Chain A
């Protein structure tokens, strides 16, 4: 019903906006909620400098964005995870993935009496979320946190209950570092969690962490920074403990060894000493063929603007900008929109 409702809204939105469209070109997009704040800002700024172009964006979720793109009810989609081969096959016009900004998922905790910044190895994180590590005093956690007085208490696991790109990035990472996780649980926007309590949204997870002593949960980096939550360093593929930050997230993208030509890539567990391992791109999904010439020009112009001027807005809104090497390759892809 929600999807119907969203589709109805899109139709309604298009119908209403079709009237002033005589004066300005209207472009409609829908999808991921995580990058919605920066997308809204971009579209406003772009409108200010290009008054004839009106871009509307509805943050209905990555899954919804992909579905709307497949039905052709929007001009572009947006997603926190790359489309699968199957999804691309089901799309009438082949979509192109344009990375826009980057984010990361951090582990936040609430252990009464512990004020030190904790460090986790991938084994410790996977073990906690699989339920095999049950106490804070477990040797696998203690080994990486010498001098921290970890209590002999049960670990209360918190995860997202709503389907989300954040969950996808986190479990995608766990699938890469833990074969047991990959075979038992796997990766999707929501999974069958072996243990733990579910909170709705980043704020729901934060609420549960704050309300539950000896708990741990995962939230988006920007959310943790804005809400001044404590979060842990994570050991990356190079064996170094890295603090999540804009720099370490951008480093993960720069160090990601194989960047496929279509940018459909997961950069979790990236190599490189400075890479934060639970990082991700978020993408705009643009059809590779746009029949309306005016629309095509507006969209490609916007993409070019987003990769240059637009990137300067990223840090102000707590998103990590794309690394320079990636930007030049994405710019080359704009020409592929026919």
Chain B
């Protein structure tokens, strides 16, 4: 309000009067839109909290520490699902971040414009493919590939680690992580590329003028400038990986237990909710699934919070150095 009265000049009193009214209306409307986001979020948490009451009362905090998931005896715990969700998402990013950022660098810095445009179009197309299609792709090509080639290879080379031992079904954490990697890949490329393109031309020219090679200019001048955007793309990918349901449930084996081996079948939070909700019998069973939803929500907030903190810390460090 203070700013609008400050811009008020006597020369155009009527015009500013009208503008003043318009500002007021726009302010209220856009505020309502913004408030809607908060209302939806609060409503979501409130509903999850309300409908998980039966499980919270019965299990308390032991829900977060129990590995048991038995609908027959009505005993439920979240550990296998939290573990599965975190391990698959983490491995997925381990695969997709280097590939995605690398591809984005090629597209924005090195590729001829024509090639870059065609590839960018294809990547955006890939980002729009429904996840069930990725799931089918995984069942028909990725599972046999993992079972017959990749997992036996890893077992031969790294078999001394518990992570890469045991029976290789081709179905399990590793395959789920691989398909999540493929699914998050286009997000990382697309957003990282935008961030790299937004780096001012002068940044590159200055580096080149100082005698840097093309690669040195990209690595030392362009990448640090686009760092925030690239990290943003990683969050977007992480959010998709944490919440992905269909493609994961098709390849992870849906086994509610914790296995040390990445070849073993597991489960994720989103997958178990989708699988068991419609036929859940009994209040505690249903409430436990809702509480898992609450856990996923909290997990997303915590991971995003940690990531935000990481940005703040690294940004400060960077500026001190510079």
Residues of A participating in the B interface, judged by any CB pair closer than 8 Å: 1-4, 33, 60-64, 154, 156, 161-165, 185-193, 196-200, 204, 207-208, 211-212
Contacts and interface: CB of A to CB of B under 8 A. Distances in A.
A191 B73 CA distance: 9
15 contacts: A1-B48, A1-B290, A1-B293, A2-B277, A64-B279, A163-B278, A163-B280, A164-B279, A186-B73, A191-B71, A192-B72, A197-B169, A197-B265, A211-B140, A211-B170
Contact of A200 (B51, B69, B72, B275): B275
Contacts of A208: 171
A261 B48 CA distance: 41
B218 interface: no
A164 B71 CA distance: 12
B72 A187 contact: yes
B281 A63 contact: yes
Given A1-B290, A164-B279, A192-B71, 10 more contacts: A1-B51, A3-B286, A64-B279, A161-B249, A162-B274, A162-B275, A190-B279, A192-B69, A200-B254, A207-B250
Contacts of A188: 71-72, 281
Contact of B169 (A185, A204, A212): A212
A183 to B, nearest CB: 11
Interface in B95-142: 139-140
A211 B286 CA distance: 32
Interface residues of B, number: 37
A211 B265 contact: no
A88 to B, nearest CB: 14
B256 interface: yes
Contacts of B68: 192
Contact of A197 (B139, B255, B275, B281): B255
B156 interface: no
Give me the 10 closest cross-chain CB pairs, A-B, nearest first: A163-B279, A198-B254, A161-B254, A61-B278, A186-B72, A192-B70, A162-B275, A189-B279, A197-B253, A63-B279
A165 B281 CA distance: 11
A60 B72 contact: no
B255 A4 contact: no
A294 B114 CA distance: 69
Nearest to B44: A1
A188 B76 CA distance: 14
A63 B280 contact: yes
B47 A191 contact: no
A113 to B, nearest CB: 17
B269 interface: no
Among A188, A193, A204, residue most surrounded by chain B Cβ atoms (within 10 Å)? A188
Among A4, A163, A196, residue most surrounded by chain B Cβ atoms (within 10 Å)? A163
Contacts of A192: 68-73, 256
A6 B277 CA distance: 11
B143 interface: yes
B144 interface: yes
A2 B278 contact: yes
B23 interface: no
A76 to B, nearest CB: 18
A60 B278 CA distance: 6
A2 B254 CA distance: 20
B276 interface: yes
A61 B271 CA distance: 17
B167 to A, nearest CB: 8
Contacts of A186: 72-73
Contacts of A1: 47-48, 51, 290, 293
Given A4-B47, A186-B72, A197-B171, A165 B279 contact: yes
